[in-house]
Amino acid sequence: EAGVTQFPSHSVIEKGQTVTLRCDPISGHDNLYWYRRVMGKEIKFLLHFVKESKQDESGMPNNRFLAERTGGTYSTLKVQPAELEDSGVYFCASSSGTIYGYTFGSGTRLTVV
Amino acid sequence: QKEVEQDPGPLSVPEGAIVSLNCTYSNSAFQYFMWYRQYSRKGPELLMYTYSSGNKEDGRFTAQVDKSSKYISLFIRDSQPSDSATYLCAIPPSGGYQKVTFGTGTKLQVIP
């Protein structure tokens, strides 16, 4: 089966611009998660979708971040406007229902200059 | 205090060595413990998981949990250059199991 696909793999934008990250989960996986790793820090949870609904968005840093999941399939994470501290690697993961089924994508490396 | 603490390393060992990777955690209510492996420019992949205290073995890998001291370990026997990666301990917080709290990860290099 195809894995979790994220794109772009790398994005460099200027402070104040908008960037949209996309995640295509494994087909049939209802659970989709976004995580982020900023330099030198641990990977941190951002939010969790069950199908198209936000189950837990307690990790979203502020209202500059907007996540959507269209029709319970792919998800987008938009950062608007981007700030320097938003730089990091954004990971998407999907699962069929338990934490043990987590499959991560390769991540999107975001650099805000 | 962080929920999960992990020595970031880096750790460099010769091929064939036994590797010990460790994490401590703060919440005694934690029940599930996981180890992820992350190769460079890739996402983390689940390596092993354990429930409560005790050992779990899978090939050259052994995961160990000591709940009395809130200490979890991953041992790698007969380490290989292909084991060179970052190893992350991960714990789902009590009261919820869908999100995971990660340690910072220990970068391991196995030298041929």
pLDDT in tens, B12-49: 999 999 999 999 999 888 888 999 999 999 999 999 98
Q: Residue range A57-80: average pLDDT?
A: 95
Q: Residue range B51-62: average pLDDT?
A: 90
pLDDT in tens, A11-56: 999 999 999 999 999 999 999 999 999 988 999 999 999 999 999 9
DSSP string, A15-63: TT--EEEEEE--TT--EEEEEEE-TTS--EEEEEEETTEEEE-TT--ST
What pLDDT does B13 receive? 97
Q: Parallel, antiparallel, or unpaired for β A108-112 and A10-13?
A: parallel
Are the C-beta atoms of A75 and A34 separated by less than 8 Å?
yes
Under an 8 A CB cutoff, do A99 and B105 touch? no
Under an 8 A CB cutoff, do B43 and A55 touch? no
Is residue B95 over pLDDT 50?
Answer: no
Question: How many percent of chain A have pLDDT more than 70?
Answer: 96
- What integer best gives the mean pLDDT of chain B? 91
Are the C-beta atoms of B32 and B49 separated by less than 8 Å?
yes
Under an 8 A CB cutoff, do A106 and B45 touch? no
Q: Which of A4, A44, A99 sits opposite B98 (nearest CB)?
A: A99
Tokens of A27: 């087909």
Poorest-confidence range of A63-67, A70-74, B84-88, B108-112?
A: A70-74
What pLDDT does A102 receive? 84
What pLDDT does B5 receive? 92
C-alpha to C-alpha distance for A72 and A87, rounded to whole angstroms = 27
Q: Which of B34, B44, B92 sits opposite A104 (nearest CB)?
A: B44
Report the residue of A10, A43, A49 to disrupt the B interface, i.e. the one with the largest count of B CBs within 10 Å.
Answer: A43
Q: Residue range A79-107: average pLDDT?
A: 90
Q: Residue range B99-104: average pLDDT?
A: 91
What pLDDT does A99 receive? 62
